[in-house]
Amino acid sequence: MLALPHFSPRIIIGITSTSLAIIAWSIARLMRGFPNQPQLWIPRLATRCISDIRRQDRIAVVWVGLVLWSGAVTTLHFTGLIFDIYSAVSWWDLLTHAMSGAGIAALVLLTHRKQVMTHEAVWWVVPTVVAIGAGFEVYEFIFKSFWHEWSLRQYSIDTAVDLGMNTLGAVLVSSVAKHSAAVADNSKSGLSTPNHAD
């Protein structure tokens, strides 16, 4: 009888990813500005997206951009799988993971923007994206077979790089959101950002 690859030393990847997802989620929930009732995030996202797009203002354009971004990430991912681009082009995995981390962070921030502005807090998004990314790694461990022929070293590096790129995307979006909030606050208070012409 053949042993499942899940019960090889590579099980450490599944266990570590599960632990990381739980720890990152717990950290995010403790951070200032973390929205309540996470079980309602997906319905809240759908409701907010539809109502904001109906407004037909600048925020509607941002939502349309995020929908297109999500479509692009999905297309890149499935194109990579169907045409075996992931193994042929070394940076394809980096691109899709960075884009997905950025997209998830942007969707979460846009969905909860009123709460973000009230609490002036965006950094809870980073461990949230880490938790979602680690959860996806658990999904891959359980349901995918691409890693079955990999060594523990190969699988560890792939998982670490995937999570690193997801996190990089989330940090980038959170930084932009934090800067945008600071600029908005400065304009409300009559302060201007320094220009270099002085």
Count of beta carbons in the 10 Å neighbourhood of residue 103:
22
Residue 40's pLDDT band (cuts 50, 70, 90): very high
Specify whether the CB–CB gap between 166 and 133 falls below 8 A. yes
pLDDT of 33 strictly over 50: yes
Give the CA diameter of the chain: 77
| Domain parsing of the chain, residue ranges | 56-183
- Alpha helix (H) residue ranges in 112-151: 113-119, 125-143
pLDDT confidence of 188, banded at 50, 70, 90? low
pLDDT at 196: 46
pLDDT of 82 higher than 60? yes
Residue 63: the pLDDT is: 96
Calculate the CA 195 to chain-centre distance. 33
Residue 83 has pLDDT above 70, yes or no: yes
- Out of 7-11, 20-24, 180-184, pick the least confident: 180-184
Tokens of 28: 């995010």
pLDDT of amino acid 182: 74
Mean pLDDT of 17-33: 97
Query: Which tens digit of pLDDT belongs to each residue from 45-62?
Result: 999 999 999 999 999 999
CB 169 within 8 A of CB 70: no
- pLDDT at res. 198: 40
pLDDT confidence of residue 51: 96
Closest CA to 181 of 51, 189, 41: 189
pLDDT tens-digit map of 156-172? 999 999 999 999 999 99
C-alpha–C-alpha distance, residues 120 and 122, integer Å: 7
Please check the confidence at residue 41 and state whether its pLDDT lies above 50: yes
Mean pLDDT, the chain, rounded, equals 91
